[in-house]
Structure 1
Amino acid sequence: MQITRHYLTISTASGPRRVHYRKCGEGPPLLMVHQSPRSSAEYEPLMRQWGEHFTCIAPDTPGFGQSDRLAKPSPDIADYADAIAEFVTAMGLEGCIAYGFHSGGIILVTALRRHSGLFRALAIGGYAVWTEQEVSLFGKSYLPAFLPSSYGEHLTWLWNRMLEQSWFFPWFDTRPQTRLPMAHDDPARVHEAILEMLDAGDAYRDGYGAVINAPRDIPDAVDNPAPCLITAYDGDPLQVHIDRLGALPPGWEARKVTTPEAHRAASIDFLRPHAGPFRADFPEDADAGFLPVKTPHFDGLVHWSGKPGAETLLVHAPAREASLTNHQGVLAIDLPGHGLSSGWAGPAPDDWSAWQAVIDAAAAALGARACQFEPLPTGDPDRLYPDLSPDRHGNYLTKAWSIARAECFFSPWYVASAATAIAFSPVDAAPERLAQVHRARLRATAAKACHSARIAAGLS
């Protein structure tokens, strides 16, 4: 089942705020709010499953994924709840059903309390009620600053932080009694969380901090809140919090279940009878988005941004993406296997005609009549684009960072000498800029094939 992606810019009291959301399925709308520090991407498998019954709408919460962060310094849980309410209103989703896991559930419960009539029913996966001691412990150690450093030291911390959060809870408290039963060392799973943390940057502390410091915010019975089911499965650190919930209003239930599958089944069974009317159309921005493109070799989404109706479409160089280009006044796309666009279904083609077919389809859909290509970097593709597949120890992260630094000073980057030195601006080597280039290279899984195909086609 296809998942589409969209942007929607919301007018708020503090100014416009762009929200990125995923959509899947047909039928009554179901809002899905992810946990921190993740994004709506974590719900893709569940959206394909639940999309058989609902139109699943999953936004990135502020500061995560591709959504703008909140303008307010040190926002609290009420600010995130109000942000969800703003999204619901802008989408025309008032009176929908909603699902949230961990942080997402806390945001939804607070939104329900603060905005009467916003939801018909909620299903929540784990609702945290922290003790004063836990809040104090988390406040000291759980949310250190996450800022890029000149030589990539922050990436060593990031890898181990995201890996070991499946080993211990809280992740920094490495004692026998804090071990988790569902530990793993799967590089691919860690890499997914790594990319989401790189998207959020230091803003992860806003969303995570708001949840950790959130009080028990369950509505009172006199408020007559919409019904809600809270479940938590064996191995979930929040299962013990079921016993901390206290008295619940009428129509609310909390229970422990055995498995993640049991939690999801209970959630969907609870939500179905409360679903609202069918919806098909939802608003989205007109100056950026994701085009569904289908060619003989590609079937996926192409991310685009720029000036609608512009004559020229800018195509970035391999291992880069549209966000790194100056495309003011023109249109730009992320090539397949780059940036926010989908990857190729199989190995990336080394025949440029397959790439050109995607570019032509995107240009036609956007109304562009001419293409402009960024120049290729100098060098041998085999050396320009070494394998950056996630490894067990996260070495690929610092490898990619070293490449991003070397690219500032030499061409080709893999030869450091007086003969290969190039002019540079200190701004290009600033950690904030390197972080953008580094993230683009990690996303660029098809860079070498793209470079080779362009060379073969004479598009240097």
Structure 2
Amino acid sequence: MITRHFLSIPASADAPARRVHYRKCGQGPVLLLVHQSPRSSKEYETLMRAWGQHFTCIAPDSPGFGQSCPLIGEPDITDFARALHQFLDALGVKHCHAYGFHSGGIILAHALKQQPLRFAALAIGGYPSWTAEEMAMFGARYAVPFQPTSYGEHLTWVWNRVLEQSWFFPWFDVRDETRMRVAHADLARVQAIVMELLDAGDAYRLGYNAALQAAPWTPPVDATTSPVLISAYAGDPLQAHLDRLPPLPAMWRTNRAADPADHEADCLAFLLEHRGEDCPALAQDTDEGFVCVNGGMLHWKGTSGAAELVLHAPGAELAEPGPEQIAVDVPGHGLSDPADNLLATLESVRIAFGTNRIVLPPVPQGDADKLYPDLTPQRFGEHLARAWGISRAEALFRPWYAAQADAAIPVNQAAITPQAIALRTRARLRAGKAARQWHDALVKAQQ
């Protein structure tokens, strides 16, 4: 089972405290998994279940991605590498195996540069060796600013940006010569990456730019480092970069895999060649995290043992809890897994936390069939525009679909800023069909 946790990194002389979200699965020596940009640790869930048979897989969200706080300023690759060491230190892991794909591999390589013997073994999926011209091109065009606009036009861009990044590399260079062999229109995959970009917001540029502007690095041939495998599969645009690498130390080697499955098998075999230390007790925060109920993980925030368990409205997500309160993302909302019986699941959460009572939100006004339209991903991202339109209208009318004088509500300027609408849109997209499920459960609970 994959569990999820938060861990605070203490403040330092030049940086404030920040919070890291990480996933954990399996048993055995620790294997650190560092994701690519603009993804999150969620991209490794399938891999964690497979490799968890051999390792205790730990996959953090890199700073600024997923649910992890960003680094301050304009961090470079050394800052992201240093942040990885800070995470391991706070977690209580002194020595481990590691795997990273693309920009995740770049971060790990520079973490190795900082501490050459920290990893029992390091496997990298696709390691770039950019030319100066490529770095200049990527720096100017690859990671463009991503800011919400009043009417959601940015969502059209983000959907097509993610859709076409599997068609051409780089995504903005649309020519026959740049077509990719792995092109697809898998709506579930596109939606997953879009949601991760919505989580990161404009901070996605920081991780991308740090990796794209990182000078190609390999150690001198006589250097002593942990063992390293650089592997790339056919169809990965970085496979050609294997030919660009200079002579490598004796403990480094390269691998050309036939496909992604072979690449993962080769990396796992390499990692298993090298012994690791037993997994220590791992640190986690105690004021926010995830509780396992009926086989699902529910996100909570607050103080364990508080008097009240506070729940949010359908299609929303938890707010900051008050004193003596615990706030929870209702199943299927926010960061919580879905559940079949919401009321029974929430009662189990109440018992688990020892709270005295559950504070329910009011049932939203309006016709439930109209309040929660279908937001299933569509080929050209139309569902994103629909979610944005609803999230804007709900700040102007109640119910949101009744655009008429007698349904108008006072205008709250703070509620119609692009940033506020963006948060409500993301919450509504996360909830999807669970919003109607929660609405119906509320009606039942308050009858």
TM-score range (shorter-chain normalised) is: over 0.9
Matching residue of 1:351: none
> What SS is found at the alignment partner of 1:18?
strand
Find runs of 4+ consecutive structure 1 residues off by over 6 angstroms.
Answer: none
Cα contact 1:97–1:119 (8 A) shared by 2: yes
Counterparts of 1:380 and 1:131, CA distance in 2: 58
For 1:249, the aligned partner's letter is P
Provide the residue aligned with 1:311 in structure 2.
307
Contact 1:102 1:126 in 2 (8 A): yes
For residues 205 and 128 of structure 1, the distance between their equivalents in structure 2, rounded to whole angstroms, comes to 18
Q: Which amino acid aligns with 1:17?
A: R
Cα deviation, residue 280, structure 1: 5.4
Decide which of 356, 363, 377 is 2:343's aligned counterpart. 356
Q: Percent identity?
A: 51
Is the 1:307–1:328 contact (alpha carbons within 8 Å) kept by the matching residues of 2?
A: no
Letter in 1 for 2:310: L
Q: Please tell me the residue identity of whatever aligns with 2:239.
A: Q
CA positional deviation for 1:326: 4.4
CA contact (8 A) 1:7 1:19 kept: yes
Aligned AA for 2:394?
Answer: E
Q: Number of residues paired by the alignment?
A: 443
**What is the deviation of 1:309?**
2.5
Superposed, 1:269-418 pairs within 5 Å as 269-279=269-279, 281-294=281-294, 299-322=295-318, 325-329=319-323, 330-344=325-339, 348=340, 354-418=341-405
Counterpart CA distance in 2 for 1:337 and 1:253 is 44
**Is 1:110–1:218's contact at 8 Å kept on the other side of the alignment?**
no
Q: Secondary structure at the match of 2:17?
A: strand
Q: After superposition, where does 1:31-42 map in structure 2 within 5 Å?
A: 31-42=32-43
Q: Normalization by structure 1: what TM-score?
A: 0.94
How far off its partner does 1:233 sit? 0.4
Task: Tell me, yes or no, if the aligned pair for 1:290 and 1:304 is still in contact at 8 Å.
Answer: yes
Give the corresponding residue for 2:181: 181
Task: Give 1:184-195 correspondences, 5 Å limit.
Answer: 184-195=184-195
Query: What's 1:219 paired with?
Result: 219
Contact 2:239 2:256 in 1 (8 A): yes
TM-score (ref. length: structure 2): 0.97
Give SS of 2:375's match. coil
Q: Contact conserved, 2:332 with 2:430, CA < 8 A, in 1?
A: yes
Q: Is residue 6–residue 22 contact of structure 1 (8 Å, CA) maintained in 2?
A: yes
* CA distances 1:382-409 after superposition (whole Å, capped 9, x unpaired): 1000000001110000100000000001
Distance of 1:137 and 1:414 partners within structure 2: 45
What is the CA–CA distance in structure 2 between the aligned matches of 1:308 and 1:60, rounded to whole Å? 25
Unaligned residue ranges in structure 1 (runs of 5+): 349-353
Provide the rounded CA distance (Å) in 2 between the counterparts of 1:146 and 1:390. Answer: 21
Given that 2:116 and 2:224 are in contact with CA atoms closer than 8 Å, whether structure 1 keeps it comes out as no
Q: Offset of 1:266 from its aligned partner?
A: 0.8
The separation in 2 between residues aligned to 1:53 and 1:63, in whole angstroms, is: 29
Amino acid at match of 1:404: S
Tell me the secondary structure at the aligned position of residue 199 of structure 2.
Answer: helix
- Superposition map of 1:437-452 within 5 A: 437-445=424-432, 446-452=434-440
* AA at the equivalent of 1:146: F
Q: Which residue identity lines up with residue 3 of structure 1 in the other structure?
A: I
Q: For the residues of structure 1 that align with 2:174 and 2:144, how far apart are their CA atoms?
A: 17
Structure 2 unaligned spans of 5+: none
User: Structure 1, residues 348-406: CA drift from partner, whole Å, max 9, x if none?
Assistant: 5xxxxx32211111112222111111222201111000000001110000100000000
Question: Aligned residue for 1:161?
Answer: 161
The aligned amino acid for 1:315 is L
Query: Once superposed, what is the RMSD of the aligned Cα atoms?
Result: 1.1
Cα shift at 1:424: 3.0
